[in-house]
Amino acid sequence: MNRWIFLSVMLLSLITQKLVSQNTPWDIIYCLNGGENKSMGISKLSSPNPREKPGWNLIFSDEFQADSLDPVKWNRSTPGDDKYGSCLREFAINPENNVIENGSARILNTIDPQLPDCPYSFGEIKTMSVRDTAFKSYYFYAPGYLETRMKLFTKTGQGAACWLWGIGSPENPGTPGPWNEIDIFELNGVNTNIFNGAYHWTYNGVHVSQNHSIYLTDSSQIYDLSTNWTTFGLEWDTLSVKWFVNNHLVKELDLTKIPPYCIGAQHYNQPMAPFCLRFNTGDNTVGNQAGIPNPADFPQAMMIDYVRMYKRINHKATQIIISDGQFQICANAISPETTVKTIRIPYYPDAVYHISSPAFEMQRISSPIPQPPEKFLIWIKPGIQSGQAYPIYAETHFSSGYTVYDTAYIYISEEVPPIPGNDFIPSQIDTNCGFTIKTTILPNLLGCDFSLDNGSTWDPGITIREGGTTFCRFGKFKPEQVVDFAVRTQNGCGYSPVRYANLTMPIPPAGCKWPAGVNDRTWPPSAGFSLVVSVTPNPVVSILNVKVASDFNRLSKPVQLKIFDIHARMVASETLTSEETQLDLNYVPNGVYCLQILMNQIIIHRSSFIKQ
């Protein structure tokens, strides 16, 4: 770039105050170029990678050794599925453009009109479907690693892509909700050595993305994607996204940093939604999109040697998900007709599931497309007593030999809770003299809600345990303010009657600063503080390893770990002082146990394990 142009852009940015403290001159170059561009030297791989990957468990693979595409693992996109019933840059989708030949999948571009005035057709395969009720959709969850070995093509006006497409939530994948997309690669159809990747998300309802183009070289020579078998890898979790080519890390996106100002978002969204996997040829997806295909260049094929998906060791590939997030059920749920409680297990096409419970009957129910089918309606078996928590066991066997165990405890409530008591007290929560309101509630409640507008709207409170007593606390208020509020509690049977009350906050203690700003009705920001924790091995024989994610040092101390048996009796308690802790459980009887991690007496993580 001409240095005078560069200096002018710098000056203009400073004048308009668009250049904020986290931006650098490189961010301006990034914006002017439309994304990050750099060169990366890689090496050819003479043979495929082994299936075993250190630090990861294989949960899905297709080596494409059959005579045809596996209809259980792959959905062939059709003109009526997922908005492809149109002609885009002279290409329309054709489900016949997906074949297996000589041990690899071939996704084709052909001269084969599928729609009027649309001379070319392309292919796509994916692990979900919008309208095909015969296909069982499945999704992949973070932290994950995808690896695929491919041979591409470079022809003007033609393209290819492989990406993870996520929408919805872990409880309801594929339904309306947060949207993420991670492009493992997009082929621009012209350059033989350009690797394009991107991360897309929505910010305030607007589509934003972080793009990069890597110029691949091999020993000072241009790396040719059209003649070499190339291994693409993608590792993603809630902290970063990493792209690999032939086992070389070519791009890492730190999701904890503030994006360059030109992206139009103040932060990166975390890729929390489960992802389906998609392979697609056809119209030129990036780069020279105005290029006109040459009929002499057809047919072209994106060849796929294998696809493998891995789950990081110490993270479960499948676990029991309570669809409503409430680990309680009402005692009157004694038949399929009287219950609405459902549980779900993430589905994978070659996994074998065993689900059981000593207290609950279960019936698999069909789910609307595109939700996975491993969904169960549960109700209480005859003779089971209320007022206790009972386990549901799940055991998942993958064809690679990897087995996952999980347990969820469901508390059986007898009836709706009584009206909350009237023992409200203010509690100081910071050095600025902010106060929260605290009240005792009955144990085994799902939680409490409060309202500051006479019950028109409700906000969740925080349930905490102090000295064997359960409390609910809510809001952040200024000293000497009179607060009118309403409180209700909830269990598996519903909400309690509402208690209306008012409370005057204390005068500011000596040495406190008067709080700035307004009252914060939603303090703390969320009762559902998320913490990444691994508990291994599971089942455990003697030594249990508990590892907290790398953000452990950012937690307010003390952080406590507690273990309970199925009768809610505490069998172990430990103050965590580092990210990794070992617990000797030789003295603990065999059985199923619940593990909790608490910060300031607030439960921020729950999981379970089996002692054998």
Q: Are residues 248 and 269 in the same domain?
A: yes
Domain, as residue range, for 363: 321-411
179 & 228 share domain:
yes
Residues 152, 275, single domain; the answer is yes
| 437 shares a domain with 401 | no
Indicate whether 443 and 348 sit together in one domain.
no
Alpha-carbon distance of 222 to 238, in angstroms, equals 34
Using only the alpha carbons of the chain, give its radius of gyration: 28
Asked if 459 and 479 sit in the same domain, the reply is yes
Handedness of CA 187, 95, 93, 294 (dihedral sign): positive
* pLDDT at residue number 554: 53
Residue 217's pLDDT is 94
Does the residue 340 lie in any domain? Answer: yes
The pLDDT score that the predictor gives to residue 529 is 45
The answer to whether residues 19 and 31 touch, using CB atoms and an 8 Å cutoff, is no
pLDDT score recorded for residue 324? 82
Residue 511 in domain: no
Mean pLDDT lowest among 50-54, 355-359, 531-535:
531-535
In a domain, 591, yes or no: yes
Mean pLDDT lowest among 333-347, 430-444, 466-480, 556-570: 556-570
User: 232 and 83: one domain?
Assistant: yes
262 and 121 in a single domain? The answer is yes
Is the same domain home to 282 and 405?
no
> How far apart, in whole angstroms, are the C-alpha atoms of residue 565 and residue 545?
18
Predicted confidence (pLDDT) at residue 312 exceeds the cutoff of 70: yes
Count CA within 13 A, CB hemisphere, residue 257: 13
pLDDT at position 7 over 60: no
Residue by residue, what is the 3-state secondary structure of 400-418?
CCCEEEEEEEEEEECCCCC
Residue 517 lies in a domain: no
The one-character DSSP state at 540 is: B
Model confidence pLDDT, tens digit, residues 585-595? 887 888 878 88
Give the CATH number for residue 376: 2.60.40
Average pLDDT of the chain, as a whole number: 84
* Least confident range of 91-95, 408-412, 608-612: 608-612
Are 301 and 265 members of one domain? yes
**Are residues 387 and 483 located together in one domain of the fold?**
no
Q: Which of 76, 108, 114 is nearest to 299 (CA)?
A: 108
Kindly report the CATH number assigned to the domain that includes residue 541: 2.60.40.10
Query: Which tens digit of pLDDT belongs to each residue from 206-239?
Result: 889 898 889 999 988 999 999 999 999 999 988 8
> 258-267, 305-314, 329-338, 510-519: which range is least confident on average?
510-519
Reported in sequence order, the residue ranges of 425-481 that DSSP labels E, i.e. its strands, are 425-428, 435-440, 447-451, 459-460, 462-466, 469-477
CA distance 597 to 408: 16
pLDDT of residue 4: 46
Number of domains in the chain: 4
Share of the chain above pLDDT 70, in %: 86
pLDDT reading at 100 higher than 50 = yes
> For residues 201 and 271, what is the distance between their CA atoms, to the nearest angstrom?
8
pTM listed for this prediction: 0.79
Integer Cα distance of 457 and 472 in angstroms = 18
Boundary-marking domain end, from 292, 312, 332 = 312
Residue 420 is assigned to a structural domain of this protein: no
- pLDDT band of residue 373 (cuts 50, 70, 90) is low
Mean pLDDT calculated for residue range 534-546: 85
Of the three residues 271, 292, 312, the one that is the final residue of a domain is 312
Considering the domain boundaries, does residue 581 fall inside one?
Answer: yes
Q: Given a cut of 80, is residue 451 above it in pLDDT? A: yes
Torsion of the alpha carbons at 35, 36, 42 and 46, rounded to the nearest 10: -20
Burial classification of residue 270, based on how many CB atoms lie within 10 Å of its CB (0-12 exposed, 13-18 middle, 19 or more buried): middle
Average of per-residue pLDDT across 531-540: 79
Token pair of 4 as six digits: 């005078």
pLDDT of residue 275: 94
Least confident of 19-28, 245-254, 310-319, 480-489: 19-28
Q: Are residues 271 and 153 in the same domain?
A: yes
Of 86-95, 165-174, 573-582, which has the strongest mean pLDDT?
86-95
- Residue finishing a domain among 312, 334, 361: 312
| pLDDT: which is higher, 13 or 322 | 322
State how beta strands 328-330 and 403-413 pair.
Answer: parallel
520 compared with 502, residue with greater pLDDT: 502
Residue 519 belongs to a domain: no
Q: What is the pLDDT of residues 285-306, one digit of tens each?
A: 665 566 788 999 999 999 999 9
In contact, 583 and 543? CB cutoff 8 Å: yes
Q: Of the candidates 594, 587, 455, which has an alpha carbon nearest to the alpha carbon of residue 535? A: 594
Whether residue 482 is contained in a domain is answered as yes
Contact 27, 260 (CB under 8 A): yes
DSSP output for 235-293: EE-SSEEEEEETTEEEEEEETTSPPPGGGS-SSPPP--S-EEEEEEEEE--SS-TTPPP
CB-based contact 450:461 (threshold 8 Å): yes
**Domain CATH number, residue 132:** 2.60.120.200
